[in-house]
Amino acid sequence: MSDTASTSEALDRASEASKVGSRLRTERERLGMSLRELARRVGVSPSLVSQIELDRVNPSVSTLYALVTELGMTMSDVFGDFPGDRVVRRLTDDDGGLALCPETRLVLNLASGVRWERLTPHSDRDVEFLYVVYPVGAASCPEDALMTHGGKEYGYVSSGTLGVRVGFEEYELGPGGSIAFDSSSPHRLWAVGEEPVHAIWVVIGREADPRDTTPPPALEATE
């Protein structure tokens, strides 16, 4: 594939809708939660939740994490899974391979152009293994609303400069830079300078919110 074709395909993938709305809506409805109630719990407007569920607006990193946590989901639930022909198969393996081609990864496009590509061919509830892109000026969340969630994060920057705030500490990671931190510490990621950031990111043990989100049993009618 030529460099021009590769660039065009990357731009097309970056402009796609996140395509997470139907999964979020299905789980919200399964829980018997109204759109307005979910918005209240997450701290955003009902209009924004509606637009996200309809895939008309891509959520920010922090909003997606908040929605997933509130609904008791995992990122594996949000990504979904591959159709069989996307996995690189071994000649002797009829049940699906272990490898992926770059052009066939599952992609989530988020607000401000942030892109996540899942690096595993199958969903894994315990580990998120991602290739991430932060365009110039992009950030995971506003400066005054840092993210927190379960698990531990490990990042490696392959190009560009990534700003990382963890608690009260700030770091700038250039190519080859890496970082590891507890995700329960308030944190924020952003692109520094005039070059997009490309990085490999791993989150281990990002458990969903432990609250019980199972719908209550229906009450039986009494005579």
pLDDT tens digits, one per residue of 127-150: 999 999 999 999 999 999 999 988
Average per-residue pLDDT for the chain: 82
* 58-70 burial: b if 16+ Cβ within 10 Å, else e: bbbbbbbbbbbbb
Domain for residue 222, yes or no?
Answer: no
Domain for residue 42, yes or no?
Answer: yes
Domain for residue 216, yes or no?
Answer: no
Residue 16 belongs to domain with CATH number: 2.60.120.10
Domain for residue 217, yes or no?
Answer: no
Higher pLDDT, 190 or 106: 190
Average pLDDT over residues 104-130: 90
Domain for residue 212, yes or no?
Answer: no
Contacts of 105 (CB under 8 A, 6+ apart): 117, 118, 119, 131
**Considering the entire predicted model, what is its pTM?**
0.78
pLDDT of residue 211: 41
pLDDT of residue 73: 87
Domain for residue 186, yes or no?
Answer: yes
What CA–CA distance (Å, rounded) separates 134 from 60? 12
Domain for residue 223, yes or no?
Answer: no
What is the sign, positive or negative, of the torsion defined by CA atoms of 42, 47, 52, 54?
positive
Average pLDDT over residues 43-59: 95
Q: Choose among 91, 151, 96: nearest CA to 123.
A: 96
What's the token pair of residue 108? 């989530």
* Residue range(s) defining the domain that contains residue 109: 3-81+98-204
Domain for residue 52, yes or no?
Answer: yes
Instruction: Give the CA count within 13 Å in the CB-facing half-sphere of 219.
Output: 3
Q: Report how many domains make up the chain.
A: 1
Residues 216/22/120/182 CA torsion (nearest 10 deg): -60
Q: Choose among 157, 153, 163: nearest CA to 131.
A: 157
Average pLDDT over residues 179-193: 97
